[in-house]
Structure 1
Amino acid sequence: MYVVIVGAGEVGTTIAASLAADHDVVVVDVDDDRVESLKYDLDVLAFVGDGTTLSALEEARVDNADLFIASTDNDQTNLVACGTAKTIGDPFTIARTKSVEYLHTWKRTENAFGADFIVCTDLLTAENVVRVVGLPSAIDVDPFAGGLVQMAEFEIGHDSPVAGQTVAEADRFDSLTFAALFRHGEMILPTGETVIESADRAVVIGSPESVQSFAMDIAPDATPDSADEIVIIGGSPVGYQTARLLEERNFKPRLIEQDRDRARWIAEKLPHTMVMQHDATDTEFLSREHVDEADIVVSALESDEKNLLASVLAKRVGAQRVISIVDSGDYVTLFEEIGIDVAINPRKVTAEEIIKFSYETVAENIAVLENDQAEVVELELTADSELIDRPISELVSELGFQLVIGAITRDRSFVTPRGDTRLRAGDHVIIFVETRYVSDLTSMV
Structure 2
Amino acid sequence: MRVIVVGAGEVGSNIAASLESDHHVAVVDTDGDRVEELTYSRDVLAIRGDGTAIGTLREANIADADLVIASTDIDETNIVVCGAAKAVGDPFTIARVRQTTLLRTWERSTGAFGVDFMVCTDLQTAETIVRIAGLPGAHDVETFADGLVRMAEFEIGPESPIAGETVSAADRFESLTFAALLREDAVVVPRGETVIRAGDAAVVIGSEASVRAFASALTPAPALEDANEVVIVGGTKIGVQTARLLEAEGFESRLIERDHERARELAERLPGTLVLESDATDIDFLVREHVAESDIVIAALESDEKNLLVSLLAKRIGVERTIGVVEFGEYVDLFETVGIDVAVNPRLVTAEEITRFTRRRRTENVAMLESDRAEVLEIEIDADSVLFERSIQSAMADLPEGVVVGAISRAGELITPRGETVVEGGDHVVLFVDTAVLDAVTDAV
Both structures adopt the same fold (TM-score exceeding 0.5):
yes
The amino acid across from 1:77 in the alignment is: T
The answer to whether residue 394 in structure 2 is matched with residue 397 in structure 1 is no
TM-score, length-normalised on structure 1?
0.97
8 Å contact kept, 1:404–1:432: yes
8 Å contact kept, 2:375–2:432: yes
Deviation at 1:128, TM superposition (A): 0.6
Deviation at 1:358, TM superposition (A): 2.9
Alignment partner, residue 252 of structure 2: 252
SS of 1:187's partner is strand
The answer to whether residue 296 in structure 2 is matched with residue 272 in structure 1 is no
Alignment partner, residue 79 of structure 2: 79
Alignment partner, residue 34 of structure 1: 34
Give matches, 1:7-406, under 5 Å. 7-359=7-359, 361-406=361-406
Alignment partner, residue 436 of structure 1: 436
In 2 relative to 1, CA 120–221 (structure 1 residues): closer, same or farther, beyond 3 Å? closer
The amino acid across from 1:389 in the alignment is: E
1:45-64, Cα deviation, whole Å (9 max, x unpaired): 01111111111111111121
Moved more, 307-316 or 34-43: 307-316
| Cα distance in 2 for residues equivalent to 1:433 and 1:182 | 12
| Cα distance in 2 for residues equivalent to 1:444 and 1:93 | 29
| Cα distance in 2 for residues equivalent to 1:259 and 1:299 | 16
1:186-221, Cα deviation, whole Å (9 max, x unpaired): 322111122223332211011111111111111245
| Cα distance in 1 for residues equivalent to 2:342 and 2:35 | 32
Deviation at 1:172, TM superposition (A): 1.9
Count matched residues: 445
8 Å contact kept, 1:356–1:363: no
| Cα distance in 1 for residues equivalent to 2:84 and 2:389 | 47
SS of 2:108's partner is helix
Deviation at 1:355, TM superposition (A): 0.8
Deviation at 1:144, TM superposition (A): 1.3
Query: Could you list the runs of 5+ residues in structure 2 that have no partner in the other structure?
Result: none
8 Å contact kept, 2:386–2:398: no
SS of 1:109's partner is coil
SS of 1:212's partner is helix
8 Å contact kept, 1:228–1:251: no
The amino acid across from 2:378 in the alignment is: E
Deviation at 1:393, TM superposition (A): 1.0
TM-score, length-normalised on structure 2?
0.97
1:49-86, Cα deviation, whole Å (9 max, x unpaired): 11111111111111211111000111110011111111
1:67-117, Cα deviation, whole Å (9 max, x unpaired): 110001111100111111111111111000111111101110221111110
1:7-37, Cα deviation, whole Å (9 max, x unpaired): 0000000010111111100011111111111
Deviation at 1:291, TM superposition (A): 1.5
1:96-142, Cα deviation, whole Å (9 max, x unpaired): 01111111011102211111100111011101110111112211111
SS of 1:239's partner is helix
SS of 1:179's partner is strand
Deviation at 1:305, TM superposition (A): 2.0
Deviation at 1:242, TM superposition (A): 0.5
The amino acid across from 1:110 in the alignment is: T
Deviation at 1:360, TM superposition (A): 6.5
SS of 1:147's partner is coil
Alignment partner, residue 425 of structure 2: 425
Query: Could you list the runs of 5+ residues in structure 1 that have no partner in the other structure?
Result: none
| Cα distance in 2 for residues equivalent to 1:412 and 1:92 | 32
| Cα distance in 1 for residues equivalent to 2:409 and 2:60 | 41
8 Å contact kept, 2:400–2:441: no
Deviation at 1:222, TM superposition (A): 3.0
Moved more, 352-361 or 260-269: 352-361
SS of 2:198's partner is coil
Deviation at 1:166, TM superposition (A): 2.0
SS of 2:364's partner is strand
SS of 1:68's partner is strand
The amino acid across from 1:381 in the alignment is: I
In 2 relative to 1, CA 123–367 (structure 1 residues): closer, same or farther, beyond 3 Å? same
In 2 relative to 1, CA 369–297 (structure 1 residues): closer, same or farther, beyond 3 Å? same
Deviation at 1:225, TM superposition (A): 4.9
8 Å contact kept, 1:16–1:25: yes
Deviation at 1:279, TM superposition (A): 0.9
8 Å contact kept, 2:400–2:437: no
8 Å contact kept, 1:254–1:274: yes
Percent identity between the two aligned chains? 57
| Cα distance in 1 for residues equivalent to 2:161 and 2:94 | 45
1:268-303, Cα deviation, whole Å (9 max, x unpaired): 111121111111111111111112222111000112
The amino acid across from 1:282 in the alignment is: D
8 Å contact kept, 1:5–1:12: yes
The amino acid across from 1:275 in the alignment is: V
The amino acid across from 1:377 in the alignment is: L
8 Å contact kept, 2:178–2:190: yes
| Cα distance in 1 for residues equivalent to 2:268 and 2:360 | 43
Deviation at 1:182, TM superposition (A): 2.1
8 Å contact kept, 2:399–2:441: no
In 2 relative to 1, CA 150–75 (structure 1 residues): closer, same or farther, beyond 3 Å? same
